[in-house]
Structure 1
Amino acid sequence: MYYSEDIIEEVRSRNDIVDVIGGYVTLKRRGNSYMACCPFHHEKTPSFHVNRDKQMYHCFGCGVGGNVITFVMEYENFSFPEALKMLAERAGVALPEQNYSREQRQRENYKMVLKEMNRTAAIYFNYLLTATSAGKHALEYYHDRGFSDETIQRFGLGYANIYENDLYQYLKKQGYTDAQMKDSGLVRIDERRGGQDMFWNRAMVPIMDINGKVVGFGGRVLGDGTPKYINTKETAVFDKSHTLFAMNIARRSKRRGIILCEGYMDVIAMHQAGFDNAAASLGTALTMGHATIVKRYTDEVYLAYDSDGAGRKATMKAIGIMREVGISTRIIDLKPYKDPDEFIHNLGKEAFEGRIADAVTGIVFEIDGIAQGYNLRDPEEKIRFTKEAAKRLSALDEPVVRHSYIEAVAEKYKIDAADLKAMVTRYGTIGLQTQTTNMDDTARPVIATPPPEGNRNPRDEAADRETQPQRLLLTWMVGKPELFGQLEGILTEEDFIDEDYHTVAKRLFDQYRDSGTVNPAAIVNLFEDIEKQRLVAKILQTELDVEITEDEKERVINDLVRKVKMARIDYELAHIADNPEKLPEVIAEKARLTKLHISLKNG
């Protein structure tokens, strides 16, 4: 964190969250909070809540949440320092010099130079395209592809001149050094020939990071040259495995899910047609890094990869990657056309909407792919196909989901449903036995088959179950701060062993000790990562609307306290070798915990 907690809290406290968010969306007062349709996903019934007392917001539909700084980061595509700076200017707060180390300051300043150079190049390329005769044939290329002038400007499309050192000379005049230009990936420096552009005689597409900053380019050759497409090499600001083209726009779309394509031209065509939730990887196969970025914004992805063999192979790989991070996939059928650009150009937006509605799940696509490897008219090959399909279906843990897919596959491929179900059950049993026999006394279960389509990784679910008492107890304590006093001497921040929950608990306990109250919005400032801010917001913003008696409340709190403390005790026992002298104390505490009862009657 580059600013002190005091200055961050001053900026946050001087920007009322209702006033700030009310400048972006129309808020309507409902009781103690304000509501609106969420600006981060499409909905008809408002589920976006803003609480003035807590200075927090949370959407119960898509899960976004945080304080006023988080909102500006999410809505404006800003980094934490950028959001803080904007709010500081709004409130008239003077920010001090950022507390970088010398190395950090040099590194961050250099990244800013590279991004500004990329922006300068993008403006120059766009100028050549739209305002000079040199870019006439590139402009014709874009128009021939069906791109309007509005789309060209929206994506900042451009043209790299036919001269091999044109950009080099231009950037030189702007004051950039040879070393900086080389590090940007825009120019290569030859000792004899001097600076040479990496892109020349190409239609240019600026590539932006998640915050909308230009970090690289894609170039499409004009004419018969090779390679047809090239992208900026990896640089200090451009990491292909963690950059998705147009994700800075798609992340804010109100359309359902994210549509992933193979190329940026497909994405531009889709955005022009109204599908502004489209994004694409850049000259590389989809990676776990890409999937992790997508996961921040949606749990559902539509794959619109090319319909040829290579595209089908890429689709199969993408399904597996998305499944690993807990994203469900549906596959859009583009036939008889190769890619989304061709499809929309020939059949139009409405037809593509229909293909989205008819998109099949990843499991159906996988089984269809398995079927293509067999001659289903041959009895022996059909048996082998049925076994392979059964193995895939056995990975589905939810009985209702598994039964539904068994019936669908049986009907489509004319297999007896009862036989297929028996085979699925047998493979599922074998998988469980394999997992059991592969475990020793200390090992955790190994997931031998992929998790079910649309479900989260079982390990993630197990981790959530383990930490749920900590989260629920913190939610109760924030909602009813009097619990801090009632639990004094019984519960402390040390009982919360999960790293993030411990951070939140420590700050809450400190706040209560200092002032007798808690300030949830200030705690969000401790986390610059958006995902962690959402997690904290969910804890701190959840309203306890349940109507329960005092006796029921007492039972709930007692149960949560016992579970939280028992988890901490079990953790200490598992690591007792580090502090063997504590063993008697921990055992005694565990014995006392079974008899613990907290009375809240007079609290």
Structure 2
Amino acid sequence: MSTGRGIPEEVIEAVLRQHDIVDTVSKHVHLTKQGKYMKGLCPFHSEKTPSFTVTPERQIFHCYGCGKGGNAIKFRMEIEGLTFPEAVRIMAEEAHIPYEDKGRGYGDSPRNQELEQLLQAHEWSSKLYHYLLKNTEYGKPAMEYLKSRGFTDKAIDTFQIGYAPARWDTLVQFLDKRSFELEAMEKGGLLSSRQDGSGFVDRFRDRVIFPLHNRSGKVIAFAGRVLGDGQPKYLNSPESKLFTKSRVLYNLHQAKNEIRKTGQVVLFEGYGDVISAWEAGVHNGVATMGTALTESHAAILRGMAEEVLVCYDGDSAGQAAALKSIPILEGAGFHQVKIALLSEGLDPDEFIQKYGAERFCHQVLDGAVSSVKFRLIYLRKNHILLEEDGKVAYIKEAMPIIAALTSPSEREIYLKELSADLQVSFESLKQECNELRTAMQKKADAGDNKPERWNNGRHKKGQASMPTLLPAFHAAERRLLSFMLQDEEVSRYVGERLGTNFNIEDHVAIAAYLYAYYAQGKNPDASHFISSLHDERLEQTVISIAMMDTPGEWTTQELDDCIREIQKVPLLEQIKRKKEEMVSAERAGDYMRAAQIASEIIALERQ
């Protein structure tokens, strides 16, 4: 049986069985046990007090701060920016579950059809640009430029590099002839609107084109580098339904297997660096596209690797960016963060072209230093160590970095290096470090947001939301659905006595889905039930209900009380309407009609 998303139900069930919610979440969030729940700081929004809750018993998560929730598949979708089919495929591969996606993987909703059209348009556009580069007169100047930059034919094919001609309508005509809706193509970032509103023009003109892929390998955007001195020098596709800069990493689709195999990812700043490094044998390299490193980028990479090696440009801007990346990467929970040191202010691409692949791998990558060592090197450049004032200032800035280390042996190593480097007594440095460490621990104990590595730079002060007091019938409906999620017998009992006569529209739909779910012979399982829903709003409502602290045992009296509370609502509404009718009849002087309505009201009130 298929889910309507082109994925067999047995595959989804196997994925959820193999991916425990606590194990899945723990790779990104530090969880602590609180009764039958696990709690931590939400990875999806900034908060100081943990409101992110995982229920191992029901295999779901829910954040009471931002409202996000779901099962293990939903968590991977949210944390890594994946579609449902992408998340299932990746998780199936990780658990060695056989999975052949015979459908398109997107379903048949209008929104998904629109996404399919955009994906197809991007794929064809990529092939057109690549063909124009390699096989036409238009592409010759671009090919000469690429060859002058050291790009080989093999690299051009591997990365499907292309060329967009200087004409205004090459892609417009290409897409129009293939019956693509040009307005949708403009929204998807392939075209631009004319200033006078009379039509559309190509977004990319006279540029070398680098296709950007999602992690499944589908083209979702482009990066264009101008030929000559035009501005802007680099142009990326705008953000669209397919492309979100903060969640896309260049070359991840090709690098992901090597990243998983080695447990390490090399992070570059640009696509040229990735391609040159690939040619040099570095097949676990990725780059951010047109944006600084984000927490989403870091979370995606942490899901695949335990070690990250930052290889940014050797100039001051590149090294400053590397410094900024450290708290983000450490906050994502990488076991080791290393920084490559490039000499002469070169970027990785320039270094490889000048000194070759072997020297790049051995000198730059193998010679990468720890994040602590890099911080100290970076600080050192800002001080004149030949002067006493410079030494004192450097020690003052370096000491908090060393004191924050949890390992005594690590602290000792760096203190000894500092002692030898500055000709300062090791004992005096150690004493100062210990005093600072004591002060830091006292300060940390005073707050409730300790500087643990899993939330550095990610969580800031938030405000807890106040619980809302629900009307009695609304609370009764939620309680009844909570029992129904836990027990098929309750669902059958409620179905016979209430059916879908709930008062909240979403509750009507959830009850109907539950009756159908159990009719298929399935066992009570909130996580699996959520996966059977194809509606974001219903999913969130079910998660909220499943997180209720409802007892596992129930009585028919408790169920009947809830059912009576729910059935009151339409009667109360009917009484309200009758009273309005009675008032209208009295105003019109129709006292016989008013008396008749009054007796009807009494009968309804008796019910």
Aligned match for 1:368, one of 374, 377, 395: 377
1:252 paired with 2:257, answer yes
Distance 1:418 1:292 in 2: 40
Which residues in structure 2 correspond to 1:94-113 (within 5 Å)?
Answer: 105-113=109-117
Residue of structure 2 in register with 1:418 after alignment: 427
Aligned match for 1:346, one of 354, 357, 381: 354
1:50-71, Cα deviation, whole Å (9 max, x unpaired): xxxxxxxxxxxxxxxx99xx9x
1:381 paired with 2:390, answer yes
Aligned match for 2:442, one of 425, 433, 436: 433
What TM-score results when the alignment is normalised by the length of structure 2?
0.59
Residue of structure 1 in register with 2:209 after alignment: 204
Residue of structure 2 in register with 1:228 after alignment: 233
Does the CA contact (< 8 Å) of 1:407 and 1:417 recur in 2?
yes
Which residues in structure 2 correspond to 1:555-574 (within 5 Å)?
Answer: none
Residue of structure 2 in register with 1:180 after alignment: 184
Q: Provide the aligned C-alpha RMSD in A.
A: 4.2
1:183-222, Cα deviation, whole Å (9 max, x unpaired): 1212112245521111100000000011111110010111
Does the CA contact (< 8 Å) of 2:391 and 2:422 recur in 1?
no
> Letter of the aligned partner of 2:322 in structure 1?
T
What TM-score results when the alignment is normalised by the length of structure 1?
0.60
How far does residue 356 in structure 1 lie from its aligned partner after superposition?
1.3
1:116 paired with 2:124, answer no
How far does residue 165 in structure 1 lie from its aligned partner after superposition?
1.8
How far does residue 78 in structure 1 lie from its aligned partner after superposition?
6.8
1:254-290, Cα deviation, whole Å (9 max, x unpaired): 4451111111111111111111111111111111111
Distance 2:330 2:90 in 1: 33
Distance 1:525 1:348 in 2: 55
Residue of structure 1 in register with 2:468 after alignment: none
Aligned match for 2:277, one of 270, 273, 285: 270
Question: SS state of the match for residue 333, structure 1?
Answer: coil
> Letter of the aligned partner of 1:342 in structure 2?
E
Question: SS state of the match for residue 310, structure 1?
Answer: helix
1:135 paired with 2:139, answer yes
1:303-327, Cα deviation, whole Å (9 max, x unpaired): 1111111111101101121111122
Question: SS state of the match for residue 274, structure 1?
Answer: coil
Does the CA contact (< 8 Å) of 2:2 and 2:9 recur in 1?
no
Q: Taking structure 1 as reference, are residues 418 and 214 closer, same or farther at Cα in structure 2, changes over 3 Å only? A: same
Distance 2:405 2:178 in 1: 59
Question: SS state of the match for residue 186, structure 2?
Answer: helix
Distance 1:232 1:259 in 2: 24
Distance 1:96 1:184 in 2: 19
Which residues in structure 2 correspond to 1:489-508 (within 5 Å)?
Answer: none
The range that moved more, 289-298 or 189-198, is: 189-198
> Letter of the aligned partner of 1:3 in structure 2?
T
1:9-33, Cα deviation, whole Å (9 max, x unpaired): 5458999xxxxxxxxxxxxxxxxxx
Aligned match for 2:163, one of 156, 159, 165: 159
Q: Taking structure 1 as reference, are residues 124 and 525 closer, same or farther at Cα in structure 2, changes over 3 Å only? A: farther
Distance 2:319 2:223 in 1: 24
Distance 1:248 1:525 in 2: 31
How far does residue 178 in structure 1 lie from its aligned partner after superposition?
2.0
1:346-370, Cα deviation, whole Å (9 max, x unpaired): 1111101112111111111111111
How far does residue 173 in structure 1 lie from its aligned partner after superposition?
1.1
1:3 paired with 2:8, answer no
Does the CA contact (< 8 Å) of 2:6 and 2:105 recur in 1?
no
Does the CA contact (< 8 Å) of 1:187 and 1:195 recur in 2?
yes
Does the CA contact (< 8 Å) of 1:186 and 1:198 recur in 2?
yes
Distance 1:237 1:175 in 2: 20
Question: SS state of the match for residue 411, structure 2?
Answer: helix
Does the CA contact (< 8 Å) of 1:3 and 1:99 recur in 2?
no
The range that moved more, 417-426 or 227-236, is: 417-426
Distance 1:91 1:426 in 2: 57
Distance 2:5 2:269 in 1: 43
Q: Taking structure 1 as reference, are residues 217 and 413 closer, same or farther at Cα in structure 2, changes over 3 Å only? A: farther
Q: Taking structure 1 as reference, are residues 238 and 430 closer, same or farther at Cα in structure 2, changes over 3 Å only? A: same
> Letter of the aligned partner of 2:326 in structure 1?
I
1:350-401, Cα deviation, whole Å (9 max, x unpaired): 1011121111111111111111121111112211211211111111112222
Question: SS state of the match for residue 204, structure 2?
Answer: coil
Q: Taking structure 1 as reference, are residues 391 and 232 closer, same or farther at Cα in structure 2, changes over 3 Å only? A: same
Distance 1:96 1:275 in 2: 32
How far does residue 176 in structure 1 lie from its aligned partner after superposition?
1.2
Aligned match for 2:247, one of 242, 248, 252: 242
Residue of structure 2 in register with 1:290 after alignment: 297
> Letter of the aligned partner of 1:407 in structure 2?
K
How far does residue 413 in structure 1 lie from its aligned partner after superposition?
3.5
Question: SS state of the match for residue 257, structure 2?
Answer: coil
How far does residue 342 in structure 1 lie from its aligned partner after superposition?
0.7
Question: SS state of the match for residue 250, structure 2?
Answer: coil
Does the CA contact (< 8 Å) of 1:255 and 1:276 recur in 2?
no
Distance 2:395 2:128 in 1: 59
Question: SS state of the match for residue 419, structure 1?
Answer: helix
How far does residue 228 in structure 1 lie from its aligned partner after superposition?
1.1
Residue of structure 2 in register with 1:213 after alignment: 218
Does the CA contact (< 8 Å) of 1:394 and 1:424 recur in 2?
yes
> Letter of the aligned partner of 1:345 in structure 2?
Q
> Letter of the aligned partner of 1:348 in structure 2?
G
Aligned residue pairs total 404
Q: Taking structure 1 as reference, are residues 411 and 225 closer, same or farther at Cα in structure 2, changes over 3 Å only? A: same
Q: Taking structure 1 as reference, are residues 427 and 247 closer, same or farther at Cα in structure 2, changes over 3 Å only? A: same
1:171 paired with 2:179, answer no
Q: Taking structure 1 as reference, are residues 85 and 431 closer, same or farther at Cα in structure 2, changes over 3 Å only? A: closer
Distance 2:121 2:101 in 1: 30
Q: Taking structure 1 as reference, are residues 218 and 97 closer, same or farther at Cα in structure 2, changes over 3 Å only? A: closer
Distance 2:278 2:137 in 1: 28
Question: SS state of the match for residue 113, structure 2?
Answer: helix
> Letter of the aligned partner of 1:299 in structure 2?
E
Question: SS state of the match for residue 346, structure 1?
Answer: helix
How far does residue 146 in structure 1 lie from its aligned partner after superposition?
1.5
Residue of structure 2 in register with 1:476 after alignment: none
Distance 2:269 2:457 in 1: 31
Question: SS state of the match for residue 142, structure 1?
Answer: helix
Q: Taking structure 1 as reference, are residues 5 and 112 closer, same or farther at Cα in structure 2, changes over 3 Å only? A: closer
Residue of structure 1 in register with 2:342 after alignment: 334
Distance 1:276 1:218 in 2: 21
Residue of structure 1 in register with 2:149 after alignment: 145
Which residues in structure 2 correspond to 1:8-157 (within 5 Å)?
Answer: 8-10=8-10, 79-80=86-87, 105-157=109-161
Residue of structure 1 in register with 2:368 after alignment: 359
1:567-602, Cα deviation, whole Å (9 max, x unpaired): x99x99xxxxxxxxxxxxxxxxxxxxxxxxxxxxxx
Ranges in structure 1 where 5+ consecutive residues have no aligned partner: 16-65, 461-513, 529-567, 573-603
Distance 1:97 1:262 in 2: 32
Does the CA contact (< 8 Å) of 2:175 and 2:182 recur in 1?
no
Q: Taking structure 1 as reference, are residues 176 and 349 closer, same or farther at Cα in structure 2, changes over 3 Å only? A: same
Does the CA contact (< 8 Å) of 2:270 and 2:288 recur in 1?
yes
> Letter of the aligned partner of 2:3 in structure 1?
Y
How far does residue 91 in structure 1 lie from its aligned partner after superposition?
9.1
> Letter of the aligned partner of 2:214 in structure 1?
D
> Letter of the aligned partner of 2:287 in structure 1?
A
Q: Taking structure 1 as reference, are residues 331 and 2 closer, same or farther at Cα in structure 2, changes over 3 Å only? A: farther
How far does residue 524 in structure 1 lie from its aligned partner after superposition?
9.4
